[in-house]
């Protein structure tokens, strides 16, 4: 039986069909999975931004200060995200990825950043782009901070695309293993 040419022809046809089916399965599932992971990350950033906005009562009146920078830096470390507080003029008040207040003061104005413009006009904004400050691709989510119905600033949360891609890659490996 093993030496039969018919057996080997049928075996190769069925093996090829199984491999082709597995590849199609992986491509479909991994594409869908990537979209789901990105949606989950966006939701996580949204939730983090809203929580940050609600926990930072009064910071926009305080302005740039060492205590605010330390607080934002600690919150960024605890959440594993980059947190930036921006006033209505685009001045960065605090940034969790900056070590010192002097580095925060040196940051360029953020008024023309896509997610900040969107947040000011619609209440929230989202953007995927390379960070001019960190020089790496990031996913940004920004929410408008208001007090007594008056806009006071923007709370922005970000995560590197490398972190998102790492999560997607681990899921793709699992899918390939299952296939």
pLDDT in tens, 20-68: 888 888 788 777 877 888 888 889 888 888 888 888 777 777 777 888 8
Which stretches of the chain drop beneath a pLDDT of 50? none
Residue-range domain boundaries for the chain: 36-165
pLDDT at 1: 59
pTM: 0.77
Phi/psi at 171 (5° precision): -70, -40
pLDDT at 31: 76
DSSP category for residue 1: -
pLDDT at 112: 93
Q: Round to whole Å and give the CA distance between 48 and 55.
A: 10
CA dihedral defined by 38, 137, 92, 126, rounded to 10 degrees?
-30
How far from 79 is each of 60, 74, 146, 155, CA to CA, in Å?
21, 9, 23, 14
Which of 57, 143, 133, 43 minimizes the C-alpha distance to 96? 133
CATH for 36-165 is: 3.30.450.20
Question: Mean pLDDT in the chain?
Answer: 86
Which of 75, 115, 69, 76 minimizes the C-alpha distance to 92? 69
Q: Round to whole Å and give the CA distance between 26 and 178.
A: 9
Q: Which two tokens stand for residue 111?
A: 């008024």
pLDDT at 79: 86
Q: Token pair 């996580």 is at which residue?
A: 44
pLDDT at 50: 87
């Amino acid at each position: 039986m093993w030496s039969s040419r018919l057996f080997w022809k049928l075996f190769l046809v069925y093996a090829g069909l199984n491999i082709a089916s597995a590849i199609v399965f992986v491509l479909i599932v991994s594409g869908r999975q990537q979209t789901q992971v990105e949606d989950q990350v966006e939701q996580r950033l949204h939730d983090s931004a809203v929580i940050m906005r609600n926990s930072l009562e009064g910071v926009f009146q305080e302005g740039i200060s060492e205590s605010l920078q330390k607080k934002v830096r600690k919150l960024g470390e605890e959440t594993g995200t980059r947190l930036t507080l921006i006033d209505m003029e685009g001045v960065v008040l605090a940034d969790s990825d900056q070590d010192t207040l002097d580095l925060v003061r040196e940051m360029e104005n953020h008024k023309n950043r896509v997610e900040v413009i969107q947040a000011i006009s619609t209440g929230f904004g989202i953007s995927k782009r390379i960070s001019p400050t960190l020089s790496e691709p990031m996913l940004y989510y920004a929410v408008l901070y208001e007090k007594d119905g008056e806009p006071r600033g923007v709370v922005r949360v970000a995560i590197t695309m490398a972190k998102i891609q790492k999560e997607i890659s681990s899921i793709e490996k699992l899918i390939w293993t299952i296939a």
